[in-house]
Structures are given as C-alpha cells and as structure tokens.
A and B are shown apart, each in its own frame.
Chain A
Amino acid sequence: MSSRLRHVCWGKVGLVTIVVLYILWSLAPVAIAFLFSFNAGYSRSTWQGFSLQWWTGSKSVFNLPIYTDAIRHSMLLAVLSVAITVPLGVSLSIFLSRWRGITARPASFLATVPLVVPELVLALALFFLVTKVNLPIVTLGTSGQVVGQVTFILPLVIVITIGRLSSIPTGYEEAAQDLGASPPQSFRLVLVPLLQPAILASAIVAFAVSIDDFVITQYMSSTSSTQSVPMLIYTATRGGATPALNAMATIMAVTTILIAAIGFVLYRLLARREQIADAPAPALAVTPEGAR
C-alpha cells in the first residue's frame, strides 16, 4: 500500500516538473527578448549593460518612423478587422443556427473552410482573387489586408457565437415575438443581450489574431506603408536591426495582453451578472476550440 502511495506521489511530482519546465521554456525567451530592449549596445544577443536608449531619445522605438508606422498600421488593421468581423460573424451565426433550410449546412461548411486549409493556401487564393479579378474597392494594400484578415477570423467568431447560440433556446425570441415584438426588436432586446459574452470573446480573439497575423497580411500588402508589426519583425530580425525592434515587439505584446485582460474581466462580470439573473449558465470557453 505504502509503495503504491509513493508511486502516485512521484507521478505527480513528475507532472509538476514538466508543467513548470514547459512554462519556463515557453515564456523565458520572450522575457529575455524584452530584457534586450534595455541593452546598452546595439546587439540583440549579447548583453552590454542597461540603458533606456531604445525606449527614449533619438534612436528609440518612438522616434523612428519605421517602427511607429508599423505599430500604427497594425492597430488600424486590428480595429477595422474587429469592427467588420464581429457584426458580420455574429449575424451570420444567428442565420446559420436558426435558419431551417437547405442553404444552412453548405454555408456553415464554407464559412469554416479557412480553418481547415493552411493559411498560406488561403493567402495565395486571396492574392490571386485580388490581382486577377478587378474587384471594386478591394486592392492590395490596407483594404485587401482587412478583407483577408476578416475572412481568416470569421470562422473563429462563428465557432464562438454558434457555441453560445446553441445554449440559448429559441423559445426566448419566440416569446418576445408572441408578446408583440417585431423580429428586429426581439433580436435587439433579447438575442443581443444574451449574446454579449460571445460578442466580447469574439472581439478579443479577433483582435489578438489580427495583431498576430502574418501570412495573409504579408500577401495582401502593397507598399512599405502597409507594413504591419509581424511583417517588420520578419524582415528585420535576421538583419542588423537594433534592440528598438525588441521594444516594438514588446509594445505590441503588452497591448494585446492588456486588451485581453480587460476583456476577460468584463467577460467575468457579464457571466456573473447572468448567474444572478438566473439565466442559463454560459456554456462557452474564452479560447475557441480549433483556433488557427
């Protein structure tokens, strides 16, 4: 008996060791990259003392247009992508989960295709669509990048929202309509409030994926003015970039983490309010299954 007990304990110790080592391995390199943004020298690999020169002053990340432009462009793409994907994805999800007709199944398959082909294939396909078909408005550059990101993020929003919708009985909307609400009213007054957690989770995921996206953003780019942060990191890392590059990457990471944290706190507040109101418990995780 005692030997078996000890055996179980050793198993747990082993598991804890793996978890701790994994977390160190996954996060320590990022922390070191952040540390190197305070390097006194020009190197991004050899420590030469502490300095704030890459954070303030003439050589700093905030004073070189190449870095500030990339940050500004990434932010613009993220805001536009979230603003388009969330309403588009949520309304499409309502259609897909409530429509009883022949179009729903093939449509939901098509909408989730971007999840089951490599991003590179979708990027190449969108690149040919934009360059070989004369579409109005959409060209290589900001418009193409936004269209590409929205197409890529849409299935994630749909997965999150449909998961939530399937836990909301259709009875609520029907009751509202029986009581005299028009379909738009029952949507606005019943469904949208119930979908708030899913809408919030979608917005966070959409923002994080947009900021992180490289392949589609790269294929849909045109001139250097449409260079996003991941694109700049990709081209500058193997070149002779200064630690200001690390500073820029850190700024983006901290921004994303802060926005996700604020979103998560709001999400918890929404979920708690709902539990008090005794509505059905939220059956949704913040992280979508099948992201990427």
Chain B
Amino acid sequence: MTPRRYLLALGVPGLIWVVLFVTLALYSLLAIALGGLDPLLLTPVPAWNPLDWSTTNVHLVAQSLQPFSGDTWVVFQRTCIYILIALAGCILIGYPVAYFTAVHAGRWRGTILALLVLPLLVSYMLRMLAWVGLLSPQGWVNAVLVPLHIVLSNFGWLDGRAITVVSGLMYGWIPYFIIPVYAALARFDTRYLEASRDLGAGTGSTFFRVTLPMSRQGLLAGTVVVALPMFGDFFTNGLLSGVSSTGMVGTLINTYAESQTNQAVAAALAVWLTVFLAILLLPYLRSSARAGREVGR
C-alpha cells in the first residue's frame, strides 16, 4: 500500500460523513425552502431538482421581512438589538476578565482559568435552570430587590421581560466569549507595554494605542463565537420568557419548525438567516485569514 493510498483510506470515511451530513443536509434544507407543499397533507415536499425550484416560501419570508412593517422584520430588528446589547455586555465584562487573566494574573492564572472554564462544563441548561429559580416571583432576586423598593413585590421577571432575556443571553454565552479573547491575549508580548511606557506613553494611551489594537483579532473571534449561536438561540428565550413579544429569529424558526405545515417557512427563514450571517461574517473571515498569513510569514 503506497503512502498516498493509505492517506486516502484515512480520509475517506470522514469525507463521506461530511458530504452526507453537512452538504446533503444543507442541500435538503435548501430543497425544502425552495420546494412545494403536498396539496392534501400540507406537508413540505422537497424539490431535489434545481429545475423544480419555486421561490414561493422564500418570497413569503422576503415579504414579511419588509423593512419596518413586515412581521418578521420586527422580530429580526428585536433580535439584532438584543444581540448587540448582549455583545456589548460580553465585551465590557469579558474583555477585562480575559485581559487580567492573560496579562496580570501571575501565579493565580491557572486557578482563574479553571474557574473561567467551569461554566462551560456545567451545562447551559443547568445555568438557565438556576436563573429560573432565582428570578421566580418568590425567588432570591425579588427577596433582595423588593425590600430595597427597586421592584414591586412578586415582580414577574420571567413574564416576558426584555431585560431578563438580554441578561440571560449575556450570562449564557459570555464564558464562550472570554476563552477565545483570553487565548489571543495570552500570546500577547507584554514587552510591548514596557516599550510603550519607556517611550513616554501613559497608561491610557498605552491601552488605546497598543493593547486594544493588538486584542482586535481576539475580540473579533470572541464576538463571532457568541453572536452565531445567539442568532439561532430559542431556548434562552423559551426558558426565561416564553412570550412572543420577546421572541427572536431563532424562536420564530423553531416555532415554524414545530408545526408540520409551516416547516417550509422555517427552512426558508433558516436559509435567509444563513445568507445574512455569511455576509456579516465575510469581513471577519477575511481579516482572520490575513492575520493567519501574517503569522505564517
């Protein structure tokens, strides 16, 4: 057996897996989105042949995505606002945490790092379950805030409050944000800070002119790592609100997917979301490819 043949034999099972369960799966999604409906059962019928594609479902979604007036547009706008606020929170809290751990933690680094990884090992659902207990009308959050007259007694944090959903998203995803930012900052050569100070820059100007530009790649990576799942998130909403007035794009796709007759719309919406995210991701993928080339040089 030649080395080349052997290498091919190693690769083939994985290649078949990826073609079948990534390519073919995504193609089925497209075939449903561009397919038709069974006239009797009203279930989606995939159009496998591109010549049979119909744009009915995609068009339906496009119509409801009409800026400012369409039903889906409203949800989409809300999704973007929620995610932007949650991301801002992730950056404001997560960046200092990652920065301290990578640059200043000294002998505590290992311990802090373990504590930062711990939430990733405790499942997402358990962490949400914990908040449902704390935020329930008789829970500990109200037990603290009601005597302080910050909220009325029996305040319903879980009755469809935007603040609960946004904080939940932030709480849920911030550990996934911190790790890539930390990984980027840990490679950061602290001699640059000394050089900047030796050349007369103050703490503030060193931070804005040296540290922040050098953290750019890490911040971008962290943002992408958490923004992507937030766009498909429906469970945080489902657990912390469950009301359609705080619904996000993920909620909408999941709701459509649950009813047989609307599955084609779910598929069309998922295709739209993927295209939107691909456009959003393009600059990031380009810049990380460029950074990769620079490192390789």
Q: What is A's interface to B at a CB cutoff of 8 Å?
A: 4, 7-8, 11-12, 15-16, 18-19, 22-23, 25-27, 29-30, 32-33, 36, 43-46, 88-89, 91-92, 94-96, 98-99, 103, 107, 110-111, 113-114, 116-122, 124-129, 132-133, 147-148, 150-151, 154, 177, 182-184, 187, 208, 211-212, 214-215, 219, 229-230, 233-234, 237-238, 245-246, 249-250, 252-253, 256-257, 260, 285, 287, 289-292
Residues of A within 8 A of B8 (CB): 95, 99
What distance in Å separates the Cβ of B207 from its nearest Cβ neighbour in chain A? 9
A-contacting residues, B244-291, CB 8 Å: 250, 253-254, 257, 263, 266-267, 270, 273-274, 277-278, 281
The answer to whether the Cβ of B42 comes within 8 Å of any Cβ in the partner chain is no
Residues of A within 8 A of B28 (CB): 125, 128-129, 132-133
Known: A129-B28, A215-B235. 13 other contacts (CB 8 A): A8-B203, A29-B134, A45-B139, A92-B14, A96-B11, A117-B228, A125-B25, A128-B28, A183-B1, A184-B6, A208-B121, A214-B125, A233-B123
Q: Say whether A18 contacts B97, CB under 8 Å.
A: yes
Q: Say whether A30 contacts B117, CB under 8 Å.
A: no
Known: A124-B270, A211-B123, A238-B242. A245 touches B129 (CB 8 A): yes
Q: Say whether B24 contacts A129, CB under 8 Å.
A: yes
Q: Say whether A121 contacts B273, CB under 8 Å.
A: yes
A-contacting residues, B215-262, CB 8 Å: 221, 225-226, 228-229, 231-235, 238-239, 242, 250, 253-254, 257
Q: Say whether A11 contacts B203, CB under 8 Å.
A: yes
Q: Say whether B138 contacts A43, CB under 8 Å.
A: yes
Q: Say whether A183 contacts B125, CB under 8 Å.
A: no
Residues of B within 8 A of A43 (CB): 138
A-B pair count, CB < 8 Å, reads 275
In the bound complex, what is the Cα–Cα distance between A114 and B274 (angstroms)?
12
Q: Which of B7, B22, B263 contacts A99 (CB 8 A)?
A: B7
Q: Say whether B134 contacts A45, CB under 8 Å.
A: yes
Q: Which of B21, B126, B267 contacts A30 (CB 8 A)?
A: B126
Residues of B within 8 A of A129 (CB): 21, 24-25, 28
- Chain B, interface size category, equals 35 or more
Candidate in B130, B132, B229, B270 with the most chain A CB atoms within 10 angstroms: B130
In this complex, what residue of A is CB-closest to B234? Answer: A120
Residues of B within 8 A of A150 (CB): 17, 21
In the bound complex, what is the Cα–Cα distance between A153 and B133 (angstroms)?
31
Q: Say whether A187 contacts B6, CB under 8 Å.
A: yes
In this complex, what residue of A is CB-closest to B183? Answer: A289
Residues of B within 8 A of A219 (CB): 257
28 sample A-B contacts, Cβ–Cβ < 8 Å, listed by A number: A4-B203, A15-B96, A15-B104, A26-B175, A32-B134, A44-B136, A45-B132, A99-B7, A111-B18, A116-B278, A117-B277, A120-B232, A121-B29, A126-B25, A127-B257, A128-B31, A128-B32, A128-B267, A132-B32, A151-B25, A183-B5, A212-B123, A230-B125, A234-B235, A237-B128, A256-B121, A257-B118, A290-B225
Known: A19-B101, A119-B229, A234-B125. A151 touches B21 (CB 8 A): yes
Q: Say whether B253 contacts A253, CB under 8 Å.
A: no
Known: A33-B133, A45-B138, A290-B225. A94 touches B104 (CB 8 A): no
Q: Which of B6, B15, B100 contacts A15 (CB 8 A)?
A: B100
Known: A19-B100, A125-B28. A111 touches B22 (CB 8 A): yes
Q: Which of B123, B171, B180 contacts A26 (CB 8 A)?
A: B171
Known: A15-B96, A111-B22, A113-B26. A33 touches B13 (CB 8 A): no
In this complex, what residue of A is CB-closest to B266? Answer: A124
Residues of A within 8 A of B11 (CB): 91-92, 94-96, 99, 107
